[in-house]
Structure 1
Amino acid sequence: MSSRRNKGFTLVELLVVIAIIGILIGMLLPAVQQVREAARRTDSMNRLRQITLATHSYESSHMEFPPSVVTVGGQSKIRGSIFLQILPYIEQQNLLNQTIDTGDYYGVYREKVSFYANPCDVSLGAGGTIEHTPWGEYGLIGYGANYQALGHIRGTTSDVDKMLRGFGNLTDGSSNTVFFAERYMSMRNAAADSNNDNWYYNIWAYGEEYWYEWNPVFGAYPEDTENPEIAHRFQVLPTEGNADATVDPLKAHAPRSSGILTAYGDGSTHMIQAGVADEIWWAALTPAGGEVLDARQ
């Protein structure tokens, strides 16, 4: 009488199979994470490109670039950021219409514009709004405009015209001048929002002479310094959300260790390495400094 062998797995065989599967998953996981990060980076660069092209469309219609921030209303300019001025060119005309009654950003700054959220942001992830006690909800953006290249309308309405800029003002060349770069959406340097002085957000529509840390710009302050190239250097993975946070709300922020994503005035997008020299980054910010140094990767 012949015996029949059980065709099922033994316990040892099953454990071996489980171990092999675990090893394979461990090998594949970093690759999957790299693919996802590459997809987020590509998405972010596309958003930067579209924002720059919207700026070009604005320039074609108005014969001037929209300023990075307008802190005084007047003439044809709405008080608020450049991201408010270009709304019609990213298919958000209806949102801009909400500013007609007030002439400033107050009518829309609580609104979320999904396109303005940076998929690579590490401060709020894919979110686009934040609830801030006691002021309510803010609509945020994961990018900032280069103050040096795009200017600032401030003071009185008589200052409006002299601060407007076009391609003719980019004597270093549009392909050598950064227009936009990544910025954290949330820049908290306190564990709670009980102290508003330590609780900053990158509000997409904001435009104020005071609390300028909330304006979605970089390269602006401090204005008078002997070492502007150091003062305006972008930060790499600064921490936020606690009392020991290192994030500086006046700068651009790289949400990865390798570098920061930027869009230049010609619409091209580039990663600028984390280790780029201070003076080269500053040269990329100034539109007419006469120092054409290549910061791109």
Structure 2
Amino acid sequence: MNNSRRGFTLVELLVVIAIIGVLISLLLPAVQQAREAARRMQCTNNLKQIGLAIHNYASTHQVFPSGYVSYKTRDGNGPAWASIDSDTWDAAPGWGWAALILPFMEQRTITDSLNMRQPIWDSANRPFINTKLEAYLCPSSSGEHDPFTVRDSSGNALSRFGSSIVVGRSHYIASHGQESCWGDCGSSASGPVFTNIYTGATTTVQIHGDASKVADGPFYRNSKVGFRDVTDGTTNTLFISEHSSKLSDKTWVGVIPGAFTHPRYSTPENGPDAAATLVMMHVGPSGGELDITGDPIIHPINFPTLHVGQMYSEHPGGGNVLFGDGSVSFQPETIDLILAAEMASMNEGEVIKSRGF
């Protein structure tokens, strides 16, 4: 009797496995692209929600939110309640643009929990400033999504009243324009009378000049920019961009005096920078920012300077940006540098015929 055997030979089995492997290798890029398309759409929706909140804030207050709110002392010689550090220009309360628009981001619960008349680091605010808000997080960012500890210039945890400060993370930052987000904001002058937020006492302090003397973007310290001030047109003016935590830490909360942002990459043009870069970025050219050849730097999204104060996204080929009219566009890495600089300023008089993307 003949015994018939059923089954695959070893060669046939190996061929089938090889074919399956090829099919999977062909399918994986398509799956990854589909997932990235979904993540990019979610990021776009986040920015559209932010843009709507900024417009609703402007409708209520007649101005866009400040880049961050801070008493401004000249050299730390102001009253003790105004400045925490003797070597810092920034002071209380420190709340940033993303915290100011929380009531318009359907975040009423956390808004009601925060006391924005007190500093960010006040004991009453600490249980809430480390809240993780998904609307401020890009799903494509491979960096951290959880809250982080604010650090000083040396990279150590920054302490206030005996304990470190932990804040919620953001992957979106506001545009300071072409000029840098930090440094001297005009000549010093005898400032207005400030009211002590703790005791009610009043005093006149030395302050910086108007920050708008060097800020040519819609967001800067104590900014009060309205639609009328964006003379280049809101359609042509960059407001908000991405900044992945793969490059450096950003927060929705605001600015803590003495804090520094530290890059996770090392290039000749980057390094730790002052507290304003926790919530803002700039595009350049800036008078104080030069490359290794001594030329001014213009850094659109994902530019290889990898500076803590620039736009940075992990979407392939570029990143999402929000314009003043509420529209969201995908800015490619190949964008013309001059066009990128023109879009960053709000009142330089550039005529932009096309965004170029």
Query: Compared with structure 1, are the counterparts of its residues 186 and 20 closer, same or farther at alpha carbon in structure 2 (3 Å cutoff)?
Result: closer
Cα distance in 1 for residues equivalent to 2:35 and 2:315 = 13
Deviating runs (4+, > 3 A) in structure 1? 131-134, 154-163, 220-227, 229-232
Cα distance in 2 for residues equivalent to 1:178 and 1:68 = 14
In structure 2, the residue matched to 1:280 is: 339
Cα distance in 2 for residues equivalent to 1:232 and 1:95 = 37
Q: Aligned to 1:215, which of 278, 285, 309?
A: 278
Cα distance in 1 for residues equivalent to 2:276 and 2:284 = 9
In structure 2, the residue matched to 1:112 is: 132
User: Percent of aligned pairs with the same residue?
Assistant: 29
Cα distance in 2 for residues equivalent to 1:118 and 1:83 = 15
Query: Compared with structure 1, are the counterparts of its residues 169 and 286 closer, same or farther at alpha carbon in structure 2 (3 Å cutoff)?
Result: same
Cα distance in 1 for residues equivalent to 2:100 and 2:192 = 17
Give 1 or 2: higher helix fraction.
1
Q: Does the alignment pair 1:128 with 2:146?
A: yes
TM norm structure 2: 0.66
Q: Aligned to 1:234, which of 286, 300, 318?
A: 300
Cα distance in 1 for residues equivalent to 2:53 and 2:108 = 12
Q: Which amino acid aligns with 1:204?
A: W
Query: Compared with structure 1, are the counterparts of its residues 230 and 182 closer, same or farther at alpha carbon in structure 2 (3 Å cutoff)?
Result: farther
Q: Does the alignment pair 1:138 with 2:170?
A: no
Cα distance in 2 for residues equivalent to 1:22 and 1:261 = 35
Q: Which amino acid aligns with 1:215?
A: L
In structure 2, the residue matched to 1:262 is: 321
In structure 2, the residue matched to 1:198 is: none
Q: Which amino acid aligns with 1:88?
A: P
Q: Does the alignment pair 1:205 with 2:204?
A: no
Cα distance in 2 for residues equivalent to 1:231 and 1:104 = 35
Please show how residues 117-196 of structure 1 align to structure 2 within 5 Å: 117-124=137-144, 127-131=145-149, 134=157, 135=164, 137-148=166-177, 163-185=223-245, 187=247
Does the 8 Å contact 2:235/2:324 carry over to 1? Answer: yes
Cα distance in 2 for residues equivalent to 1:295 and 1:52 = 18
Deviation at 1:145, TM superposition (A): 0.6
Please show how residues 3-18 of structure 1 align to structure 2 within 5 Å: 3=2, 5-18=4-17
Deviation at 1:186, TM superposition (A): 5.0
Structure 1 gap ranges (5+): 189-200, 239-245
Q: Which amino acid aligns with 1:258?
A: G
TM norm structure 1: 0.78
Deviation at 1:235, TM superposition (A): 4.7
Does the 8 Å contact 1:170/1:287 carry over to 2? Answer: yes
Query: Compared with structure 1, are the counterparts of its residues 94 and 72 closer, same or farther at alpha carbon in structure 2 (3 Å cutoff)?
Result: farther
Moved more, 205-214 or 177-186: 205-214
What SS does the aligned partner of 1:207 have? coil
RMSD: 3.4
Q: Which amino acid aligns with 1:185?
A: S
Deviation at 1:237, TM superposition (A): 7.3
In structure 2, the residue matched to 1:94 is: 109
What SS does the aligned partner of 1:253 have? coil
Cα distance in 1 for residues equivalent to 2:61 and 2:173 = 22
Q: Which amino acid aligns with 1:141?
A: S
Deviation at 1:112, TM superposition (A): 1.6
Q: Which amino acid aligns with 1:80?
A: W
Does the 8 Å contact 1:84/1:105 carry over to 2? Answer: no
Matched length: 271
Deviation at 1:94, TM superposition (A): 2.3
